[in-house]
């Protein structure tokens, strides 16, 4: 089995101990979490870099930890070149306090993380223990956008006393990992990894552009919470979909069938809420025709209904049942009408959320193609006329 290329990503303020604590945890056998990182990247400010270089490299804290762990010097693949300072054009940031600073840090982290998230053989371990809270939130947001199943978001914690002076400035890793006074705890945080599982190219766009696209996709995928139908007008909040009476009669039929079916609200289509071509053809001289009548009654479009009624009824036998030829003809008409209706809804000037619930979908049920709508909020569907 091939080994993942291990990537450690961290945000850091002025506490370089986060790096030594994390590396110690993943190196010492006491924690049973051995992980050898092939690449270590730290995001920080000029101030954070100065503190890190001074303590980890000049004072030799990193090499000393390698020695104490019985490792060769340079085992940890981390150098000054792996420190990325947030930069606004040519100006490196001393701090990240403003909204603009935070956007810069987000773009920086997102850009670097993209380098590794496209390779299925990498595993990213991201820690947000350092830096300002906004930096932690930035790392978490980038992780949600780009993380895969194998990637982990972690938070490392040390005993409270180690966070207080003078220990705060002098303690970099445990002398005795079994001691409660030096206990290191790493929490693997459950997080919604969304970006890589949406129909979006995560290699393109700024952070804000990706955020807008994902947010729009989620909103559009949510079901509408209300629908009011008046004749051939379908209204959701302030949006309206207006169809020709003949087309609206089909949609009203499918919506009523969905509303009255006793299947689950999250049903994607079943023989209770969907209809086959034969059932639709039968409905064209019954339920769909009734809907056409309700839409046009007392309007100047009533003549269109009477014409459609007359044409369809010519295919009835003496017992008022569709003939086999009539069934074939009406199936063909239904197929054509529903195709036109689908195109009209797709081109309508309404939100994707509204479109998704109005579109007639198809499923193969009981070995035949069946059609219907998948509205979930049945209780808030209201037919006024």
Q: pLDDT of 317-335, one tens digit each?
A: 888 889 999 999 999 999 9
Question: Which residue do the tokens 């009255």 mark?
Answer: 260
Nearest Cα to 122, choosing from 288, 15, 9, 232? 9
**Domain closes at, from 174, 192, 218:** 218
- 167: pLDDT confidence band, cut at 50, 70 and 90? confident
Pair 205, 82 in one domain: yes
Of 218, 236, 267, which marks where a domain is finished? 218
Give the integer Cα–Cα distance in Å for 172 and 16: 8
Q: Do 209 and 236 belong together in one domain?
A: no
Distance CA 65, CA 186 (A): 19
**What pLDDT shows up at residue 311?**
92
Distinct helix (H) and strand (E) counts, the chain? 13, 15
pLDDT of residue 2: 52
Give the domain range for residue 161: 5-218
Greatest mean pLDDT among 80-94, 155-169, 198-212: 80-94
**The model's pTM:** 0.70
For residues 203 and 231, membership in a common domain is answered with: no
At 230, give phi and psi (nearest 5°).
Answer: -125, 110
Complete edge-to-edge strand list for the sheet that includes strand 275-276: 275-276, 368-372, 361-365
Query: Is the same domain home to 258 and 350?
Result: yes
What total of structural domains would you count in the chain?
2
Together in a domain, 264 and 149: no
Instruction: Say yes or no: 278 and 129 in one domain.
Output: no
Q: Which of 166, 187, 218 is the last residue of a domain?
A: 218
């Amino acid at each position: 089995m091939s080994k993942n290329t291990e990537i450690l990503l961290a945000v850091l303020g002025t506490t370089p101990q986060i790096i030594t604590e994390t590396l110690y945890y993943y190196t010492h056998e006491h924690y049973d979490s051995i992980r050898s990182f092939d690449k270590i990247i730290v995001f920080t400010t000029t101030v954070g870099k100065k503190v890190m270089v001074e303590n980890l490299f000049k004072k030799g804290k990193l090499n000393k930890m390698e020695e104490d762990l019985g490792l060769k010097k340079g085992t940890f693949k981390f150098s000054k070149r792996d420190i990325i300072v947030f930069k606004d054009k040519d100006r490196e940031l001393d701090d990240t306090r403003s909204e603009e600073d935070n956007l810069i840090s987000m773009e920086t982290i997102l850009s670097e993380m993209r380098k590794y998230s496209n390779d299925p053989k990498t595993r990213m371990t991201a820690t947000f223990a350092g830096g300002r809270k906004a930096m932690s939130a930035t790392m978490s947001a980038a992780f949600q956008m780009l993380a895969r199943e194998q990637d982990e978001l972690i938070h490392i914690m040390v005993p409270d006393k180690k966070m207080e002076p003078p220990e705060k400035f002098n303690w970099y890793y445990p002398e005795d990992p079994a001691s409660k006074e030096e206990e290191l705890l790493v929490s693997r945080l459950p997080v919604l990894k969304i970006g890589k599982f949406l129909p979006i190219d995560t290699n393109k766009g700024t952070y804000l552009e990706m955020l807008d696209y994902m947010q729009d996709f989620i909103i559009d995928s949510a079901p509408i919470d209300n629908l009011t139908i008046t004749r051939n007008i379908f209204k959701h909040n302030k949006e309206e979909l207006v169809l020709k009476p003949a087309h609206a009669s089909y949609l009203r039929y499918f919506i009523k069938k969905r509303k009255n079916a006793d299947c689950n609200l999250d049903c994607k289509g079943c023989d209770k809420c969907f209809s086959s071509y034969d059932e639709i053809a039968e409905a064209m001289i019954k339920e769909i025709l009734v809907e056409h009548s309700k839409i046009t009654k007392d309007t100047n479009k009533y003549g269109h209904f009477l014409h459609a009624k007359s044409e369809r009824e010519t295919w009835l036998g003496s017992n008022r049942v569709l003939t086999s030829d009539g069934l074939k003809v009406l199936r063909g008409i239904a197929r054509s009408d529903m195709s036109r209706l689908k195109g009209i809804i797709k081109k309508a000037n309404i939100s994707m959320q509204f479109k998704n619930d109005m579109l007639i979908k198809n499923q193969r049920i009981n070995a035949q193609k069946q059609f219907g709508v998948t509205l979930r909020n049945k209780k808030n569907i209201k037919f006024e006329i």
